[in-house]
Structure 1
Amino acid sequence: MNLLYLHQHYSGPGGATATRAHAMARAMAARGHAVTLACGRYDGAETGLSGPFRRGLREGRVAGFRVVEFDIPCGNAQGLGARTGAFLRYAGRAARLALRERFDLALASSTPLTVALPALVAHRLRGLPFVFEIRDPWPELPRALSEAHLGGGVPAPALAAMGRLADAACRNAAAVIGLTEGMAETALARGAAPARVHVVPNGCDLDLFGPQVAPWRPPEAAAWEVLAVYAGAHGRANGLMTAVEAATVLRNAGERRIRLVLVGEGGERARLMEEARRRDLRNVTFLDPLPKTRLAGLLAGAGIGLHLLAPIPEFAEWTAPNKLMDYLAAGLPVVTNAPGRAARLVGAGADGIACGIAAPPGDAPALADALAALVAEPARRTAMGAAARARAVRLWDRRIHAARFCEVLEAAAEVPALARAA
């Protein structure tokens, strides 16, 4: 099969962003398929390519597959207009690629939702079958963020247009992949045939994260401090002010055994840092985004993985954070303030042992209590960490999910060919 993988925000392991696409493209290539992954220039991403852009792109081979990188910068620090422009420019360049070369299948991985445009164009003009992957449900999440005044206020006409595009993608796709059952339900609600909808969740990179990694700690971390690490975006949707408030509660209670380490960037980072300075929070460290390989060492030197989101009900079943998988793979007990799927994931498993604690959404004192409880009970923390790693190996090994991902794509490529033959 000759596969066109449309993923605007692709990154390899050298970057600071999600590497699911890298793993899935590599798995398809390992099964003998020719893979072309088309991406843009995403902040924090590293495609593995070097050298100048010519005529707005550069390309080369990475981990057994071809990468075509368009010179289209995009990142969370951009305003809505700039990001929208980047999304549309990528869609246009990717559509030309899809029409210029011969592919057997396209995979459009959203977000952004506009990756569906080149797939739909090639489907209409060339009859190219495509798979639509939902990593974040759009426009459902932007609508929820706008209603909660956390997403920059996406205009109603734009939400309506996104709704029509999502409908078209779900109804015309040979298969739809959702990262959670909740995401799969959004595809069904938009007209996807039930037999074509599949759940292939995020998984754990057990080679990159785990006990085999050499640990490191920030220089300001005292030997007696347990590090609680949050690694991810610093936007309003992430609700990190709750972490600053929890650090304040811990400081005021005289708890000196915990250091919160917030790794990443985003629109709220400057405000969070200023607030931490204003409160004189010496138990909080901010770090710039780290390559995944460097992050693995920090998690190896930490004691707790911190998973935080703003208290928005839609987040309960519509999010699948990579950071949660990274914490489990690293063998860290997790403290989350997200209900629903995340809370279930860290709850007691079949062995009766939990691998984390779920605090109520947006409740800073409860978050502080959960952190203090794990620090006060080293044996419990160790048992939860061991349960996290065991669960990562048994249930969330990314290689297992990559095999299922490949099977869905292979079946989707066969169905149209069989239909034409009939």
Structure 2
Amino acid sequence: MRIVYLHQYFFTRSMVGIAGNRSYEFARRLVAMGHQVDMVTSYTYDQGHAHLDWFETEEDGIRVHWLPVPYSNKMDFKKRVKAFFRFAIRASRKAVEIEADVVIATSGPLTIAVPGIFASWYRNIPFVFEVRDLWPEGAIQLNVLTNPMAKWLARRLERFAYARSRHIVALSPGMRDGIAGTGVSASKVTIIPNAADIDLFQPDADGSEVREKYGLNSYFTLAYFGTMGLANGLNFVLDAAAELKAREVTDIRFLLHGDGMERPYLEKRARDEGLDNVLFTGPTPKDEMAKFLAGVDVCMTIFKNAPVLQTSSPNKMFDALAAGKPVLTNMPGWLESIAVRDKTGVFIKPDDPIDFADKVIWMRDHPDALREFGKNARRIAEERFSRDVLARQLECVLLSTQFSNANSAVKKVESVGERDLA
């Protein structure tokens, strides 16, 4: 099978990126299965690069087509949208040049559907749309997208993308329900959640280097890894840090590792309020993250308290599971069930720093429970969220689009079982 894979922000493990590397991990596994994969993406790094237009590299057997397009998660919304449309237009032209049997586009941004739809129409091949965020609903609920005309256009594009796709991949039960809420048949949507890097992250990894470097040896440490943006609501972590300071708890540290448009404000607040129990580090490439996870006691998955974010399937949660680390989350629904039902960690009430502080102290004081959480985390990472298993599911979806009975054939991929995802 010849696959054109569209992902505007494609990263390998060795790259410092603004997004996860799901498309890289799946693409290299598809290559190992015997398929040809052409990745069409943007180059967001040093804009002094010798290439000013499309250029190609090979990454673990994946032929990657790069288009230099300046982008940073510190950009304002208008600049981001400009980058989205610039890439969508140029990628549409590139995608039709590549011989393929199927085209898959993975969001965000939503505009990535445009070259997917165009290539599907031009070459008369199936289009599979992978939805990694419910957009534009997320931007609307976060008050990022406020213009009425822009909202209308975005919703029209969303529905057009769903209508023109042969099949849709959603990353969580909540995303599936959100897509179905637009009128899409449930039989057209398959859940393939984010995956755990069980080969990169190991429960017995040595974290002494990180603990020594950041002075964490005598502290119970909770860490957040990832983007520090509006959606992540990391002021909540600082609220909990302030609550612990007020209680004169001195042996707990919060480590915020990553970057984003909110990081300067968070750092300023921590300085202004004397929150020396909060450390800021990173960002680093994915292949260095294993050291950081090994060096902390608990991994946090925190989001702003907005209903649409409860549908998220965040990489940071699954990396924590792979590393055998207890998790702490403030997201009701699916992520809460992974923490509580699967006994991998604790759930804290959104926007409640007192409950946050109470749960952190409880985790510090119950090391036996944390060890059990860690064992359960690794177990479900291996059993339900292995990249090898989920890549096979994606292969089945792509293969099934080659046949007229795609909707019935695709049911074979749901070996994880909706009872495990609900």
**Alignment pair present for 1:272 and 2:228:** no
TM-score using structure 1 length: 0.91
Note if contact 1:27-1:406 (Cα within 8 Å) is conserved in structure 2: no
Q: 1:308 pairs with 292, 302, 312, which one?
A: 302
Q: Which residue is equivalent to 1:18?
A: 20
**Alignment pair present for 1:331 and 2:355:** no
- Report 1:12-161 matches (<5 A): 12-16=12-16, 17-42=19-44, 52-146=49-143, 151=144, 153-161=145-153
SS at match of 1:89: helix
Deviation (angstroms), 1:79: 1.4
Question: How many residues of Structure 1 are paired with residues of Structure 2 in the alignment?
Answer: 402
Note if contact 2:44-2:68 (Cα within 8 Å) is conserved in structure 1: no
What is the rounded CA distance, in whole Å, between the counterparts of 2:148 and 2:201 in structure 1? Answer: 42
What is the rounded CA distance, in whole Å, between the counterparts of 2:179 and 2:231 in structure 1? Answer: 23
SS at match of 2:360: helix
AA paired with 2:97?
Answer: R
What is the rounded CA distance, in whole Å, between the counterparts of 2:152 and 2:252 in structure 1? Answer: 46
Question: Percent identity at matched positions?
Answer: 31
AA paired with 1:119?
Answer: G
SS at match of 1:380: helix
- Report 1:210-359 matches (<5 A): 210-215=202-207, 216-218=209-211, 219-316=213-310, 318-349=311-342, 354-359=343-348
Q: What are the superposed Cα offsets for residues 178-200 of structure 1, whole Å, 9 maximum, x if unpaired?
A: 00122122322334343321111
Q: Which residue is equivalent to 1:389?
A: 378
What is the rounded CA distance, in whole Å, between the counterparts of 1:208 and 1:59 in structure 2? Answer: 26
Deviation (angstroms), 1:75: 2.2
SS at match of 1:357: strand
**Alignment pair present for 1:205 and 2:207:** no
- Report 1:175-190 matches (<5 A): 175-190=167-182
Q: Which residue is equivalent to 1:420?
A: none
AA paired with 1:99?
Answer: V
Note if contact 2:92-2:116 (Cα within 8 Å) is conserved in structure 1: yes
What is the rounded CA distance, in whole Å, between the counterparts of 2:279 and 2:48 in structure 1? Answer: 35
Deviation (angstroms), 1:201: 0.5
Deviation (angstroms), 1:115: 0.6
AA paired with 1:98?
Answer: A
What is the rounded CA distance, in whole Å, between the counterparts of 2:116 and 2:281 in structure 1? Answer: 38
Q: Residues 306 and 41 of structure 1: is their aligned pair in 2 closer, same or farther, counting only changes over 3 Å?
A: same
SS at match of 2:42: strand
Note if contact 2:221-2:252 (Cα within 8 Å) is conserved in structure 1: yes
AA paired with 2:21?
Answer: T
Note if contact 1:239-1:362 (Cα within 8 Å) is conserved in structure 2: no
Q: What are the superposed Cα offsets for residues 305-345 of structure 1, whole Å, 9 maximum, x if unpaired?
A: 011111112222x2111000011111111111111111011
> Does 205-214 or 299-308 show the bigger shift?
205-214
Q: CA RMSD in A?
A: 2.0
Note if contact 1:247-1:260 (Cα within 8 Å) is conserved in structure 2: yes
Q: Which residue is equivalent to 1:174?
A: 166
Deviation (angstroms), 1:169: 1.2
SS at match of 2:275: coil
What is the rounded CA distance, in whole Å, between the counterparts of 1:197 and 1:241 in structure 2? Answer: 35
Note if contact 2:169-2:192 (Cα within 8 Å) is conserved in structure 1: yes
Deviation (angstroms), 1:53: 4.5
What is the rounded CA distance, in whole Å, between the counterparts of 1:12 and 1:237 in structure 2? Answer: 24
What is the rounded CA distance, in whole Å, between the counterparts of 1:304 and 1:269 in structure 2? Answer: 21
SS at match of 2:178: helix
Deviation (angstroms), 1:114: 0.4
SS at match of 1:85: helix
Note if contact 2:203-2:325 (Cα within 8 Å) is conserved in structure 1: no
Note if contact 1:137-1:186 (Cα within 8 Å) is conserved in structure 2: yes
AA paired with 2:402?
Answer: A
> Does 105-114 or 160-169 show the bigger shift?
160-169
Deviation (angstroms), 1:212: 4.6
Q: What are the superposed Cα offsets for residues 351-405 of structure 1, whole Å, 9 maximum, x if unpaired?
A: xxx1111000111111111111111111111111111112211221121111101
Structure 2 unaligned residues grouped into runs of 5+: 407-422
Deviation (angstroms), 1:414: 3.5
Deviation (angstroms), 1:406: 0.9
> Does 12-21 or 60-69 show the bigger shift?
12-21
What is the rounded CA distance, in whole Å, between the counterparts of 1:67 and 1:383 in structure 2? Answer: 42
What is the rounded CA distance, in whole Å, between the counterparts of 1:73 and 1:212 in structure 2? Answer: 39
Note if contact 1:229-1:261 (Cα within 8 Å) is conserved in structure 2: yes
> Does 217-226 or 107-116 show the bigger shift?
217-226
> Does 182-191 or 160-169 show the bigger shift?
182-191
AA paired with 2:127?
Answer: F
Deviation (angstroms), 1:160: 1.2
